[in-house]
Amino acid sequence: MLAELESKQAFILHTRAFKENQLIIEFLVEGEGRLSIIASKGGKKNSARTALLQPFRPLIIKYKVGRGLHSLKSVELNPESADIRLKSKSLFCGFYLNEVLCRLCKSDAQYDELFPLYDYAISHLQHSSEREIDTQSGMYLEAILRQFEYRLLVMLGYGISFDYDLHSEADIKADKYYELLAGSGFVFSNTPQRAIIGSDLMGIDSFLNTDLEIEKLSAHKLKLAKLILRACLHRHLGDKPLKSRELFRK
Amino acid sequence: MSQSLLENLIEQLQCLPGVGPKTAQRMAFHLLQRKRQAGKELSVVLNEAMDNIGQCSECRNYTELELCGICQNAKRAIDGTLCIVESASDLAAVEQSAQFSGRYFVLHGCLSPIDGVGPSEIGLFQLEQMLENGHVSEVILALNPSVEGEATSHYIADICKSHNISITRIAHGIPVGGELEMVDSSTITHALMGRKQF
């Protein structure tokens, strides 16, 4: 007799058609990580199921573990979580998160901390969608993305330190200049034109590590964090650019 | 050993949607036994169609001409409405309803960055140029209610706003003949939000 399947919280990252009536769905599953699960299409007769099999919706799934692909046995909306409906720029940010995650995290690898990290980012994107905070300056959305990128890199073991000079191991000084070694950290620099002043680096990691407080964000530091994290991500993503960046019209 | 002509025919027929090995074999035998002439005519038309059918330079619908029949029809440009659909089959469905008399723009897909589909792949830069140059007064979004469709709608809405063009979206709701209890919660939410004075 088959053991009873466990119910797990999950988000859909991506779906693609497989054969005529099936889908291969990339799920982000609580306590597991990214899993490829095969499911039958909802089709016209089961629109409720089709509506559930969409990215960003908080789901409870049951699946049977297979050798390669797993198979989906049941799916329902998570009754304990508010439904997520991303709009406009928040939706584009959601696509960005999913693309970064699918590019950086391997399927079937164990990432315990990935689900809460994604859940945190998505619920803040929803918060932004509801209140249309992004229409003001876009800073709130930028902050959510930067926190997600930084925490994801740390979780994967690619984190960098903003506190000390990588070569001398001395603390970062406010009046000295530093250069970024992508994927490693910062080193003292003699060429201020191409470097970042220490006072700008201070406080970036505490912002990236603590929960969002929009009124405390500095636009300049946020922009700097974007450049630093983009360089770090580029090192791990390779030369193929992220397609979701094209969604943000200038 | 090389593949026989019959085996090759059966294999090639499987490129059609919904056709597996068994159906392909049935089709091949049917053509050989009963419809040889029809099979020859099919191959000629198929060859011509694959060589000559391209996309309309205005709306991206399939046509063998520079401009499709709808874009050539001057009457359809009078009211300045432009309906944006995901596929040529969606265009056919809207045309069949006989409720729309404006022009179309076919995206041939929706924004899906993970699949490598961005704005340029679905002709959104061409659409933007059309809105800049053309006489469009209203854009009607008739995209599928998926997350990708939603993202595409928001992207197009941004373009329209920057060109001061009015944008509307077809209503989402309960299908005729459907049962309310069988409809999913998102559709009911949309239907309630889009309710109209009765």
One-character DSSP codes across A60-78: EEEEE--SSSEEEEEEEE-
Indicate the residue of A14, A56, A246 with minimum beta-carbon distance to B114. Answer: A14
pLDDT at residue B156 greater than cutoff 60:
yes
Residue A215 in any domain: the answer is: yes
Beta carbons of A183 and A205 less than 8 angstroms apart: no
Asked if B158 reaches chain A (Cβ–Cβ under 8 Å), the answer is yes
Supply the pLDDT for residue B92.
95
| CB half-sphere exposure, A12, CA atoms < 13 A | 27
Residues A203 and A142 in one domain: yes
3-state secondary structure at position B101: coil
Q: In the prediction, which pLDDT does A1 show?
A: 43
CB-CB neighbors (< 8 A) of B160 in chain A: none
Average pLDDT of span A143-159:
90
**Domain B5-52 matches domain B65-169 at the CATH topology level:** no
Do residues A71 and A147 both lie within one domain? no
End-of-domain residue from the set A28, A45, A77: A77
Q: Does A242 touch chain B (CB under 8 A)?
A: yes
Residue A45 pLDDT:
63
pLDDT of residue A120: 92
DSSP-derived secondary structure letter, A58? -
User: Do residues A64 and A170 share a domain?
Assistant: no
Among A11, A13, A25, A54, pick the best mutation site for testing chain B contact (most B Cβ within 10 A): A54
**B177–chain A Cβ distance below 8 A for any pair:** no
In chain B, the residue whose alpha carbon lies closest to the alpha carbon of A240 is B116
Q: Is the pLDDT of residue A181 over 60?
A: yes
Convert the pLDDT of each residue in B112-135 to its tens digit. 999 999 999 999 999 999 998 878
With a cut of 60, say whether residue A134 has pLDDT above it: no
Q: What is the overall mean pLDDT for chain B?
A: 92
Q: What is the pLDDT of residues A87-100, one digit of tens each?
A: 888 999 999 999 99
Q: Does A14 touch chain B (CB under 8 A)?
A: yes
For the cut 70, the answer to whether the pLDDT of residue B42 exceeds it is yes
In this structure, is residue A51 part of a structural domain?
yes
Q: How far apart are CA A73 and CA A5, in angstroms?
A: 9
Task: State how many domains chain A has.
Answer: 2
Residue A150 at interface with chain B, using a CB cutoff of 8 Å:
no
Q: What is the pTM of this model?
A: 0.88
- Same domain? For A121 and A238 the reply is yes
Domain that holds residue A101: 88-249
Within this chain, do residues A59 and A113 fall inside the same structural domain, yes or no? Answer: no
Any chain A CB within 8 A of the CB of B18?
yes
Q: Which superfamily does B5-52 belong to?
A: RecR Domain 1 (1.10.8.420)
- Using a CB-CB cut-off of 8 Å, the residues of chain B touching A16 are 115
Same domain, A49 and A108: no
% of residues, chain A, pLDDT over 70: 90
Short-list A39, A37, A107, A32, CA closest to A65: A37
CA distance A8 to B147: 23
Antiparallel, parallel or unpaired: β B138-142 and B166-169: parallel
User: Residue ranges per domain, chain B?
Assistant: 5-52, 65-169
Residue type, A69: L
Cβ–Cβ < 8 Å for A220, A200: yes
- Domain B65-169 class? alpha beta
Interface residue A1 vs chain B (CB under 8 A): no
Q: How far is B60 from chain A (nearest CA, A)?
A: 21
Q: What average pLDDT score do residues A192-208 get? A: 81
Q: Are B137 and B109 in contact (CB under 8 A)?
A: no
Query: E-strand spans in chain A?
Result: 8-18, 22-29, 33-40, 59-64, 70-77, 177-181, 185-188, 196-197
Pairwise CA distance, residues B165 & B155, whole Å: 14
Q: Cβ–Cβ of A51/B115 closer than 8 Å?
A: no
What's the mean pLDDT when you consider all of chain A? 84
Whether A98 has its CB under 8 Å from any CB of chain B: the answer is yes
φ/ψ of A192, rounded to 5, equals -60, -25
Assess if residue A17 is contained within a domain. Answer: yes
Among residues A77, A103, A119, the one where a domain terminates is: A77
CATH number for the domain including A198?
A: 1.20.1440.120
**B154 chain-A contacts, CB cut-off 8 A:** 87-89, 91-92
Check CB contact under 8 Å for A243 and B18: no
> Could you tell me which of B103, B60, B84 has the C-alpha nearest to residue B155?
B84
Residues of A in contact with B158 (CB under 8 A): 88, 249
- Chain A's closest residue to B116, CA to CA, is A243
Q: Which tens digit of pLDDT belongs to each residue from B159-168?
A: 999 999 999 9
Last residue of a domain, one of A77, A97, A124: A77
Residues A93 and A197 grouped into a single domain: yes
By the 8 A CB rule, do A145 and A225 touch?
Answer: no
Task: With residue A94 as reference, give the H or E element that holds it.
Answer: helix A88-104
Helices of type H across A133-176: 139-155
Regarding whether A112 and A38 lie in a shared domain, the answer is: no
Q: Is residue A2 part of a domain?
A: no
One-letter amino acid of B142: A
Whether A65 and A106 share a structural domain: no
On the CB side of A4, CA atoms within 13 Å amount to 3
Three-state DSSP class for B60?
Answer: coil
> Does A219 reach chain B within 8 Å, measured CB to CB?
no
Note whether residue A82 is domain-resident: no
Both A42 and A106 in a single domain?
Answer: no
Are both A228 and A105 inside the same structural domain? Answer: yes
